[in-house]
Structure 1
Amino acid sequence: MNRFHPLCTLACAALFLALLTGSSLAASKVFDVDLEFYPYYPSLIKWNKSSVPFSEPRKCGGCHSKQYKEWNGSVHSLAFKDPVYQGELNKGVKAVGHDIARQCEGCHSPAGVVTGEIKGPGNAGLSDMALAGVSCDICHSVSGTTHWQTPSHEPENGSFILTPGVETTSGQTLIKRGPFKPSDNCGAGFHKCEESSLHLQADLCAGCHQVYHYDSHFPIEATYLEWKHGPYAQKEVLCQDCHMVETETFKKSADEFRKPERGEYRHYFNGANFLLSYLAAGAAKKGGDEKLAKSLMQQYDMAVERLKSAADLELSPVYRDGRLAELKVRVKNVRAGHNLPTSLTNVREMWLEVIAKDESGKVILTSGSLNPDGTLPGDARNFHSDGMGNDFHFAIDPWKVTAFSRHETIPPKGYKDVYYGMTAPAEAKAVTIEAKLRFRQADQKVAEALLGAVPKDIDLKATYGLEKVPALPVVDMVVRQANFATTK
């Protein structure tokens, strides 16, 4: 009697199954999109459409003046008007069309997208609600998320649901949601209040702080996942616990994994984007609004202080055969709950500048000093990402980046070690080291290209007082000095 070997039997069965199902497997998509479910695709916003209007921030400020003042001048309030964003949006529309660029607009002005008011780059002719970007009524109208239903089955590109209110037999009812049980007379008859557990979760922020390629669904920005896969999520310290508090409270939250008290939360939404605050402060001052300019510079100072408290450096000598051979610089992410840097890491620059001198003051090592034209040397140790497109060649535009060829960011509570070869003169007995961890929003040439691409209705000179793109501000996050003997 003929018998088949068991392994052969399994192989034949597998082949038979493959033949039966091969066509369906070949036709399946990794990232399937339901265009009926997501009518604003590639923005993944959903809107429970009704006649109930969105409320502009000034209206909210009538009863919530403290929160309004904190929000006004925040990066959320500037999200759509930001000239750097507008330059990028204008470039994107010209490259791939407005239907694709709606992905960006969905998070930078959600109300403007779902109402159909925003039809392209620029600020001209838009309502205060559309220009307000991520306003009070956006966050407090979020009634749910669709993170699991997205093409990647992760939060991405604005995967939240907006429900500013409902229509009833007696008319319109505005509904605003927050993290706490409503007090008596909450809303003062203008709107109804609802307690929302979502507003006590990082998922509230996730949809817009996960930016994926519009078609390939590659995470160009993965701030939420960086947090979720790190120690802060394990300790239940959320986005709100660091970005909706004063700087000193942020430090305590990060150092002690301590959740702030209810009274410690603010509506600053402060992060590392000091450039946006800097530009907007110039515009407010030129427009004669000294009060707003002061608020914006407060945001600028907070962002700089946050950057200076996020990282640390350790300098150590490495000896071989009794002689100083290398300098080890350990760069540590000590307080950022996500990677450092995060968000558009192929554009951000966080790098080491190192200078070593002997006793006579002679420079024996230098690395990371900016070129005369403001660009960063190619051999500088830069903790960022290099993007690439479908052709596996370098790419920087977000509509082109479908993968990273290099990813050097530092995870929460993590570190990266960098080694520099040291050759001290034979007669030298010691060397002096100065190391700086430096940060700026983008390469000088990239910033010049983006600001040079702003839509025609944005006059940089008239609005911001810019005759030309200035040298981008650089923040020295950490500065450390050390002295090491050349022999051991």
Structure 2
Amino acid sequence: MKKLLLLLCLSLLPAGVFAEPPPVFDVDREFYPYYPSLIKYEKSGAEFTPPEVCAECHAKQYEEWTGSIHALAFKDPVYQGELNLAVQAVGHEISRQCEGCHSPAGVVTGEIKGPGLKGLSPMALAGVSCDVCHSIVGTTHWQTPTHEPQNGSFIIRPGVDTPEGPQLRKMGPVAVSDDCGMGFHECDQSSLHLQADLCAGCHQVYHYDKHFPLEATYLEWKHGAYAQKTILCQDCHMVDLETFKRVADEFKKPERHEYRHYFNGANYLLYYLAAGAATKAGDEALAANIMKKYEMAVGRLQSAADLEVTPVYNNGQLGEVKVRVKNIRAGHNLPTSLTNIRQLWLEITATDEKGQVIMTSGAVDDNGQLPENTRLFNSDGMGDDFHFAVDPWVITAFSRHDTIPPKGHKEVYYGINAGTSPVVKLDVKLRYRQADQKVAEKLLANVPEDIDLNATYGLTEVPPLPVVDLVAKQVSFQTRE
């Protein structure tokens, strides 16, 4: 009876009583004047400070930052090739989304107007420099179209206007001392610099229009074991390799003196290119600096994962092998970032007692390509038409998302037919490279005209992309249980 009365009352309501549903992703373009970059700029007479000026008082931190991924973020030729293709495909508006994180100061000052390096100031070319991070005063993560961190959703303010003139003010995590800034700038203690939210805005990349998360590194961390244990981005990426491994294993924060401005991650390819450029320019000290970061990046990758290989017997006969791939130290998914571009895969070769190959999968061919049966741990993108897509300005969803969460694992089974051999030997590798060979060739072939790959990097063609073996194991199993 009550249900009948309710239906009767609803039928008597006037037409149009229900409001139109709001858009799923509401964009306030007045609030975000640099959209699709979501930077907020609190402008004053205080200008940004180039990192070379910071080096005069902070030489150690400058040396650590020099040659880092943050320092190379805007000059990265792979990034510039991607940016150039995006502008050609969609227009300049898309480039602001990328530039807002790769050179925030260059965007908010209006200096950067598209791909390329020509005519830009040292401050714009410095990418994610000292003054970028230490001028962040807040975030707007709740106000974004998805109400999540994305596309540079931070507030940046290099200083303030005072009756005496512009005053530089820098944010940092430690208590302010009397001599902080030594008269050049004022200091403010910032709790934000002790939170992962500081990093979140640029390590969450969403589609410029459809707001799909192309990269979700922050959310992978937030929804994983490390966030539960209060181990932050800074605790793993602002320390050396051995400290990183200890933090990941013990869930114990670094000591204050152990933090560094390396910002080291898995992008060994950029270090490799930058070290080559420094060598070609005759700057051996810089090349050595960058190669140390390259070795640290490779070491991180080789510390991040592990493999377990076990036999599976059916009616007493070896029928399969199970390979468990474990993410043992990465605080986010493995791989992370542009997971539709990154390639993490298993290469496996099985031989019988005579050394004859009876099964193989995942071997890179002479053209740098992986066979179709390769077991990849990454993502496949698709566009609005639900067809496969690789370009970030096209991808609005994943048709497959197969990455490994923090402290998690994925399992792969391989069928084995050993014939009459009493034993099977297995060579199993977990391998990583930052892109498919053809993708890398496409991006580097489309760098802006003012970037000369031969003059800067000594590249006349794209070499085979370096592959890092995260884990390699050799095991043997009896074919009869």
Q: CA deviation at 1:9?
A: 3.2
The SS at the match of 1:85 is helix
Answer yes or no: is the 8 Å Cα contact 2:345–2:374 preserved in 1: yes
Relative distance call for 1:105 and 1:320 in structure 2 (3 A) is same
2:477 paired residue number: 484
Q: Within the alignment, does 1:24 sit opposite 2:36 as a pair?
A: no
Relative distance call for 1:429 and 1:235 in structure 2 (3 A) is same
Q: Superposed, which structure 2 residues align to 1:231-250 within 5 Å?
A: 231-250=225-244
Q: CA deviation at 1:11?
A: 4.1
Aligned mates of 1:16, 1:105 — CA distance in 2: 55
The one-letter code of the counterpart of 2:80 is Q
1:113 paired residue number: 107
Quote the sequence identity (%). Answer: 68
For structure 2, which runs of at least 5 residues remain unmatched after alignment?
none
2:437 paired residue number: 444
1:22-47 per-position Cα deviation (integer Å, ceiling 9, x unaligned): 4522xx10100111100000000000
1:359-386 per-position Cα deviation (integer Å, ceiling 9, x unaligned): 1001111000012200111210000000
Aligned mates of 2:139, 2:8 — CA distance in 1: 45
Residue 159 of structure 1 is aligned with which of 150, 153, 156? 153
The one-letter code of the counterpart of 2:46 is V
The SS at the match of 2:430 is strand
Q: Superposed, which structure 2 residues align to 1:20-419 within 5 Å?
A: 20-25=16-21, 28-419=22-413
The one-letter code of the counterpart of 2:201 is G
1:453 paired residue number: 446
Q: CA deviation at 1:315?
A: 0.1
1:420 paired residue number: 414
Q: CA deviation at 1:474?
A: 0.1
The SS at the match of 1:24 is coil
1:101-139 per-position Cα deviation (integer Å, ceiling 9, x unaligned): 210000000000000000010000000000000000000
Q: CA deviation at 1:481?
A: 1.1
Relative distance call for 1:20 and 1:182 in structure 2 (3 A) is same
Aligned mates of 2:50, 2:203 — CA distance in 1: 23
1:332-369 per-position Cα deviation (integer Å, ceiling 9, x unaligned): 00000000000000000000000011110011110000
Answer yes or no: is the 8 Å Cα contact 2:217–2:337 preserved in 1: yes
1:395-419 per-position Cα deviation (integer Å, ceiling 9, x unaligned): 1111111000000000000000000
Aligned mates of 1:377, 1:96 — CA distance in 2: 32
Answer yes or no: is the 8 Å Cα contact 2:44–2:166 preserved in 1: no
Aligned mates of 1:312, 1:15 — CA distance in 2: 63
Aligned mates of 1:410, 1:202 — CA distance in 2: 20
Aligned mates of 1:178, 1:112 — CA distance in 2: 22
The one-letter code of the counterpart of 1:7 is K
The SS at the match of 2:388 is coil
Number of equivalences: 481
1:299-321 per-position Cα deviation (integer Å, ceiling 9, x unaligned): 11000000000000000000001
Residue 459 of structure 2 is aligned with which of 455, 466, 470? 466
Relative distance call for 1:36 and 1:432 in structure 2 (3 A) is same
Relative distance call for 1:138 and 1:13 in structure 2 (3 A) is farther
Aligned mates of 1:281, 1:221 — CA distance in 2: 27
Q: CA deviation at 1:10?
A: 3.5
Relative distance call for 1:393 and 1:170 in structure 2 (3 A) is same
The one-letter code of the counterpart of 1:161 is I
Relative distance call for 1:12 and 1:231 in structure 2 (3 A) is farther
Aligned mates of 1:430, 1:17 — CA distance in 2: 78
The SS at the match of 2:389 is coil
The SS at the match of 2:20 is helix
Q: With structure 2 as the length reference, what TM-score do the two structures score?
A: 0.99
The SS at the match of 2:371 is coil
Relative distance call for 1:153 and 1:432 in structure 2 (3 A) is same
The one-letter code of the counterpart of 1:76 is H
2:4 paired residue number: 8
Answer yes or no: is the 8 Å Cα contact 2:324–2:409 preserved in 1: yes
Aligned mates of 1:254, 1:67 — CA distance in 2: 24
Relative distance call for 1:8 and 1:255 in structure 2 (3 A) is same
Aligned mates of 2:9, 2:127 — CA distance in 1: 57
The ranges of structure 1 where at least 4 consecutive aligned residues each deviate by more than 6 angstroms after the TM superposition are: 15-18
Aligned mates of 2:35, 2:450 — CA distance in 1: 27
Relative distance call for 1:13 and 1:479 in structure 2 (3 A) is farther
Q: With structure 1 as the length reference, what TM-score do the two structures score?
A: 0.97
The one-letter code of the counterpart of 2:342 is R
The one-letter code of the counterpart of 2:20 is S
How big is the alpha-carbon RMSD for the aligned residues of Structure 1 and Structure 2?
1.1
Relative distance call for 1:280 and 1:17 in structure 2 (3 A) is farther
The one-letter code of the counterpart of 2:454 is K
The SS at the match of 1:411 is coil
Q: CA deviation at 1:183?
A: 2.0
The SS at the match of 2:87 is helix
